Amino acid sequence: MNNILVCVKAVPATTSVQVDGQYRLKREGASLQWNIADESALEAALSLKDKDGTVTVVTMGPPKLEAPLQDLLARGCDRVVLITDRLMAGADTRATAGALRAAAKRLGPADLILCGRRAIDGETGQVPGELASALGIPCVSNVEKLEWEKDRLLLHRRLETGVEVLSARGPLVVSVCEYAYSLRLPGILSMRRARGKTVERYSAADLGLTAEQCGLKGSLTKVTAMESKFPGLRNGPKETDPAKGIQALRAMLREVQP
Amino acid sequence: MISQNALHHAEKCRFCWMCRHLCPVQHQTGREVNTPRAKGLLLSMANKGTQPFDKDMAQAMYECLLCDACTNDCATGYQPPLFIREARTEAVVNELAPEAVMKLIDNALETGNIYGVEKPSYGQDGTDVLVYIGEVAAIQVPQMAKNLLAVLKKAGVSAKVLANEPASGVMLGDLMGYTEEVRQQAKACADAINAAGLPVVVLDSYDAEIMKQKYPEWGCEIKTDVTTATAYVAKLIASGKLEAKAGTGVQGACHDDDRLARTFHEFAPIRAMAKAAGYEVGEMFSREKLAKSCGTAVAYGYMPALVEKIAASRWEDLKRSGCAAMLTASPQAYLCLSLCVPEGKALVDLYAALV
Amino acid sequence: MSQEILVLCPFGLDAGLLSKAAELLPGRVRAFVPAREQAEAALYGANIIHTLNCGEIVDEAALADLLAEKLKLWGSSIVLAPATIRMRNLMPMLAWKLDAGLTADCTALEMAGSDLVQTRPAFGNSLMASIRSLSRIQMATVRPGLFRPAARPNPKAEIIPESCHIREQRLRHVAFQPFSQGKPLSQAGIIVAGGMGVGSKEGFRKLSVLAEKLGAGLAASRSAVDAGFAPYRCQVGMTGVTVCPRLYIAVGISGAVQHLAGMSGSEKIVAINSDPKAPIFGYADYGIVGDWETVIDQLLKEELS
């Protein structure tokens, strides 16, 4: 029996972002969706579960995530947990990893913890490593394929120059690449099974966390300034005669070609 | 469980009533419950708990062709088929779907097609294109499948047809919404097509729609180009590979298949085919983007009498146009229109006309 | 307390990053590099060089454990590493052990008193955030290859050999399959990118032939990837790769913000689009208004002749 814990994050579905007075992303009002790499991690977990095991999902965010979490039950997850508390607002990756560690401890031992390799809003990709370190277990990042090989996991990790294949023994944290797996839809049977199941809620107090360990207060990095940096206009000349255009492009290619 | 997105679409109706004038089902039944806005209202009431989601409500959700005419004309920009599909999922999950519907679903899950019979084999193993026939043409309109293959042969195209062609998932998707079971069918189909490695020509626009719209979203995209058979044949005509025929002097009107028209905005190819087949091309009302559905194979499977009425109403449109022939290249349209061909009018399979 | 920067490059030296560290705190730079790169580390400004002499390290967590112990002895106040995939995995583990704040993938660094001000893009490139660490040790990963290496020869650099004994094999190396296409997109000098305007997989095959002829990378906009014209690994933009080649040729790309976020750092941008009003022209150094296929066919013809 393999217990898999998947940590997911909801990110704004929009591409236009606003920040508040403390340079935190404004999340109210914006419609949320699961981070794309996290969907990949969810499907990786569900595919492993197809053979054997259970899948528990944990996320940290506002109460309105209950409905999308319920939807994950319909897709075949066994248990879904929402960490939600005003104290948690503004958490950096460290405070987030701290909250996830506390939740993981409370949920009981997991053989495998899966995360997306990065979130499209923060793009730090640091939570998996910090969480692994907090739990004292290894972390393998950027994985695009996971499969059981007897009692070990075979991991295909995408590096800059190629794919490294690793064999791992749990417990460990694995971060999964976006688009590596595409999340299944709710199925008729899993929807029937999910009827009556509910979202479990944890507050900071439930996890034994104090205000100092949470959110903005529990963070070790501070954003001190933020500016909008829209790509600069270059407004180069526009050529309508293809022959002339190709000539100019040729010249530019010659400049950069070795 | 209805998704937030679907509820959003269901609840934003402004009661402008315009969809009542377009819904081909409501036109025939005259029942208020058959309008798209009524379905939205019902779902919204079920969500609020003021009306139970019961067998009657489920029945209402199935009295719809998913033709998307309502979306096309919705003043608020909402998409009734989106929540109607989810309502069908809800109905199946809670075992409230009509029996006739459940029969088709069971067939599709067990045998891969709603008819529960084996698909014929074509023994074609060409190298230029893979022709995806689809279960409706294969089982219900077999001559159209053969005619398409003959047209391709005539144009010098070497075509392959998959032995044991898997279901595309479109029938199951219409019957019970887009669930994991449908995605699994889609994946198996995409795998089989990708293994062939040839560009795909899809006879049934319903299959083409799900392949092009849903497969990429579901992580099972087809790696080669997917073209509707009509667009492909029109290209063969344009490039001179398929010779045009002499004029017949007959005036025919093209029936725009609703998914071809509204999903792909594809209107020109069948008109080009009609011309090449020697017809003088006339026009009916409710064409192109406003295409009126004449029924679907799935709906015919569980409510044949109503579909026959809907098809008959399309023939009325033809009569009003003054044309003598109804021209179609859609197996599903052919199936429905063939139920009630009026005297003095002809139903023409454009592929047959081009052989 | 005196300040010191530790530049961590156990899997390969980033000479530009080392030069930058030497510029930020001249004379107070410690480097941790593979033994084979000792000379290079001395050339680019390291004062103390720890040379790692051991086989392939598979388990980054084990190396993080080792480094956490070492750092207690060294007392470095700033820890920098190139934001490669392996270092972006190792640094968070180290940061947790050191109770240090960590900023990912910075694009600029400067000192403000004893504070390291770390600048990084957020939400694609549409926002730039300046970040300070609140912890005693300040840590950041820096986009690889961002700073130009500047030689600061340091022949008197102190060399300290280090070894690494990894006790238990929680992770085992099984195989390595190198990418056939060589360099990753993020390091390509020239990129040929296609958008919806390219219209089909067939069109992308043409672009890929051109890219191969030019020794360029092939990229795509998100909508082209969504439409199935090109695989995801080609996607440039907010949900794909960020690139900064010397020449970016945008073919049939309209110029959505998400895409601009991923390529606006390119040295030169050429846009080819039939719509003269396409936003991409505003962000290009040179635009060709016309049918992309005519232009590409002509280029291919010239390349072949």
| Cα-Cα-Cα-Cα dihedral sign, residues B105, B109, B114, B115 | negative
Chain C neighbors of B225, CB-CB under 8 A: 200-202
- Which of A7, A130, A133, A173 should be substituted to probe chain C, the one whose Cβ sees the most C Cβ atoms within 10 Å? A133
Number of domains in chain B: 3
Q: Which helix (DSSP H) or strand (DSSP E) does residue A147 occupy?
A: strand A139-149
- Across the interface, of B216, B221, B225, the residue whose CB is closest to C202 is B225
Q: What percent of chain A has pLDDT over 90?
A: 66
- What b/e string do you get for A138-149 counting C-beta neighbours within 10 Å, with b at 16 or more? bbbbbbbbbeee
Whole-number Å distance between alpha carbons of C223 and B24 = 34
The answer to whether B216 contacts C200, with C-beta atoms less than 8 Å apart, is: no
Whole-number Å distance between alpha carbons of B143 and B351 = 10
How much of chain C is helix, strand and coil, in % rounded to 5?
35, 30, 35
Query: Count of CB contacts below 8 A, A vs C?
Result: 266
Whole-number Å distance between alpha carbons of C116 and C111 = 5
Domain ranges of chain C: 5-162, 185-304
Beta carbons of B331 and B320 less than 8 angstroms apart: no
Residue A120 above 70 pLDDT? Answer: yes
Provide the pLDDT for residue A245.
93
Distance from CA of C277 to the nearest CA of A (A): 11
- Which of A66, A71, A182, A199 should be substituted to probe chain B, the one whose Cβ sees the most B Cβ atoms within 10 Å? A182
A255 assigned to some structural domain: no
Q: What percent of chain A has pLDDT over 70?
A: 91
Chains that touch B (3 or more CB pairs under 8 A): A, C
Contacts of A200 (CB under 8 A, 6+ apart): A79, A80, A81, A82
A49 assigned to some structural domain: yes
Confidence of residue C187 (pLDDT cuts 50, 70, 90): confident
Whole-number Å distance between alpha carbons of C60 and C173 = 12
The answer to whether B225 contacts C200, with C-beta atoms less than 8 Å apart, is: yes
Please indicate if any CB of chain A lies within 8 Å of the CB of C130. Answer: yes
Beta carbons of A174 and A206 less than 8 angstroms apart: no
pLDDT in tens, A40-71: 999 999 999 998 899 999 999 999 999 999 99
Cα atoms in the 13 Å half-sphere on the side-chain side of A193: 13
Alpha helices in B94-141 (DSSP H): 99-111, 135
| Among the listed residues B285, B346, B325, the one whose alpha carbon sits nearest the alpha carbon of residue B27 | B285
Provide the pLDDT for residue A15.
52
Concatenate the DSSP letters of all residues of C17-85 into one string.
Answer: HHHHHHHHSTT-EEEEEEGGGHHHHHHBT-SEEEEE--S----HHHHHHHHHHHHHHH--SEEEEE--H
Residue C57 above 90 pLDDT? Answer: no
Beta carbons of B343 and B273 less than 8 angstroms apart: no
Chain B neighbors of A186, CB-CB under 8 A: 1, 89, 179-180
- What b/e string do you get for A58-72 counting C-beta neighbours within 10 Å, with b at 16 or more? bbbbeeebbebbbbb
Number of domains in chain A: 1
CATH of the domain at B333: 3.40.50
For residue A209, what are the domain limits?
A: 3-230
| Cα-Cα-Cα-Cα dihedral sign, residues B186, B190, B193, B198 | positive
Q: Radius of gyration (Cα) for chain B, nearest Å?
A: 20
A247 assigned to some structural domain: no
User: Which range among A29-33, A39-43, B170-174, C234-238 shows the weakest confidence by mean pLDDT?
Assistant: A29-33
Do C5-162 and C185-304 fold alike per CATH? yes
- Which of B194, B221, B264 should be substituted to probe chain C, the one whose Cβ sees the most C Cβ atoms within 10 Å? B221
Whole-number Å distance between alpha carbons of A156 and A166 = 6
Residue A1 above 80 pLDDT? Answer: no
Among B77, B97, B117, the domain-final residue is B97
Beta carbons of C271 and A252 less than 8 angstroms apart: no
A254 assigned to some structural domain: no
| Cα-Cα-Cα-Cα dihedral sign, residues C39, C41, C47, C50 | negative
Beta carbons of A175 and A41 less than 8 angstroms apart: yes
A89 assigned to some structural domain: yes
The answer to whether C170 contacts A168, with C-beta atoms less than 8 Å apart, is: yes
The answer to whether B1 contacts A71, with C-beta atoms less than 8 Å apart, is: yes
| Among the listed residues A218, A227, A215, the one whose alpha carbon sits nearest the alpha carbon of residue A19 | A227
3-state secondary structure of A140: strand
Beta carbons of C224 and C233 less than 8 angstroms apart: no
The answer to whether C288 contacts A249, with C-beta atoms less than 8 Å apart, is: yes
Residue C34 above 90 pLDDT? Answer: yes
Confidence of residue C302 (pLDDT cuts 50, 70, 90): confident
Positions in chain B short of pLDDT 70: none
Alpha helices in chain B (DSSP H): 4-11, 24-29, 36-48, 55-62, 69-73, 80-93, 99-111, 135, 142-154, 170-176, 180-196, 205-209, 229-238, 258-264, 268-276, 297-302, 304-321, 331-337, 350-354
CATH top-level class for C5-162?
Answer: alpha beta
B114 assigned to some structural domain: no
- Across the interface, of B1, B179, B220, the residue whose CB is closest to A188 is B179
Provide the pLDDT for residue B13.
81
Residue identified by tokens 């059981």 is A148
The answer to whether C96 contacts A134, with C-beta atoms less than 8 Å apart, is: yes
Distance from CA of A192 to the nearest CA of B (A): 6
Beta carbons of C188 and C76 less than 8 angstroms apart: no
pLDDT in tens, C12-25: 999 999 999 999 99
Indicate the DSSP class of residue A177. -
The answer to whether C226 contacts B225, with C-beta atoms less than 8 Å apart, is: no
B111 assigned to some structural domain: no
Distance from CA of A38 to the nearest CA of C (A): 13
Residue identified by tokens 């073209």 is B227
| Among the listed residues C184, C223, C218, the one whose alpha carbon sits nearest the alpha carbon of residue C204 | C218
User: Which range among A21-35, A49-63, A89-103, C130-144 shows the weakest confidence by mean pLDDT?
Assistant: A21-35
| Among the listed residues C161, C164, C154, the one whose alpha carbon sits nearest the alpha carbon of residue C40 | C154
**One domain for residues B190 and B89:** no
Among B233, B262, B290, the domain-final residue is B233
Q: Which helix (DSSP H) or strand (DSSP E) does residue C118 occupy?
A: strand C115-122
| Among the listed residues B226, B225, B260, the one whose alpha carbon sits nearest the alpha carbon of residue B350 | B260
User: Which range among A154-163, A208-217, C66-75, C286-295 shows the weakest confidence by mean pLDDT?
Assistant: A208-217
Chains that touch C (3 or more CB pairs under 8 A): A, B
Query: Tokens representing B36?
Result: 């798209």
Whole-number Å distance between alpha carbons of C222 and A17 = 19
Among B190, B205, B233, the domain-final residue is B233
Please state the three-class secondary structure of B213-239 as a single string: HHCCCCCCCCCCCEEEHHHHHHHHHHC
Indicate the DSSP class of residue B67. -
Provide the pLDDT for residue C168.
61
CATH of the domain at A103: 3.40.50.620
| End-to-end CA, chain A | 56
- Which of B193, B225, B226 should be substituted to probe chain C, the one whose Cβ sees the most C Cβ atoms within 10 Å? B225
For residue B270, what are the domain limits?
A: 243-354
Confidence of residue A209 (pLDDT cuts 50, 70, 90): very high
The answer to whether C282 contacts A233, with C-beta atoms less than 8 Å apart, is: yes
Query: Tokens representing B129?
Result: 């294109």
Provide the pLDDT for residue B46.
94
Query: Tokens representing B168?
Result: 């595309």
Residue A30 above 70 pLDDT? Answer: no
A56 assigned to some structural domain: yes
Beta-sheet strand order (sheet of A221-228): A221-228, C127-133, C115-122, C108-112
A156 assigned to some structural domain: yes
Beta carbons of B151 and B329 less than 8 angstroms apart: no
B105 assigned to some structural domain: no
Confidence of residue C37 (pLDDT cuts 50, 70, 90): very high
Whole-number Å distance between alpha carbons of C224 and C201 = 9
**One domain for residues B150 and B211:** yes
Mean pLDDT highest for which of B179-193, C48-62, C97-111? B179-193
Beta carbons of C73 and C118 less than 8 angstroms apart: no
| Mean pLDDT computed over every residue of chain C | 89
| Among the listed residues B246, B250, B247, the one whose alpha carbon sits nearest the alpha carbon of residue B322 | B250
Number of Cβ within a 10 Å radius of residue A108:
9
- Which of B90, B101, B102, B179 should be substituted to probe chain A, the one whose Cβ sees the most A Cβ atoms within 10 Å? B179
For C68, nearest residue in chain A (alpha carbons): A133
- Across the interface, of C200, C202, C228, the residue whose CB is closest to B216 is C228
Please indicate if any CB of chain B lies within 8 Å of the CB of A182. Answer: yes
**Backbone region of residue B344 per phi and psi (left: phi > 0; alpha: psi in -120 to 50; beta: other values):** left
The B residues from 150 to 209 touching A (CB cutoff 8 Å) are: 176, 178-183
For B220, nearest residue in chain A (alpha carbons): A182
| Cα-Cα-Cα-Cα dihedral sign, residues C17, C20, C22, C28 | negative
Residue C238 above 90 pLDDT? Answer: no
Residue C123 above 70 pLDDT? Answer: no
CATH top-level class for C185-304?
Answer: alpha beta
Whole-number Å distance between alpha carbons of B149 and B161 = 9
Query: Tokens representing B183?
Result: 């995605």
**One domain for residues B165 and B256:** no
Chain A neighbors of C289, CB-CB under 8 A: 238-240
B328 assigned to some structural domain: yes
Report cis status (omega within 30 of 0) of the bond before A186: no
Whole-number Å distance between alpha carbons of A56 and A79 = 5
pLDDT in tens, B18-54: 888 889 999 999 999 999 999 999 999 999 999 999 9
| Cα-Cα-Cα-Cα dihedral sign, residues C182, C185, C190, C195 | positive
A256 assigned to some structural domain: no
Whole-number Å distance between alpha carbons of A57 and A72 = 8
In chain A, the largest separation of any two C-alpha atoms, in whole Å, equals 70
CATH of the domain at B52: 1.10.1060.10
Provide the pLDDT for residue C117.
94
Indicate the DSSP class of residue A231. P
The residue with greater pLDDT, B63 or A162, is B63
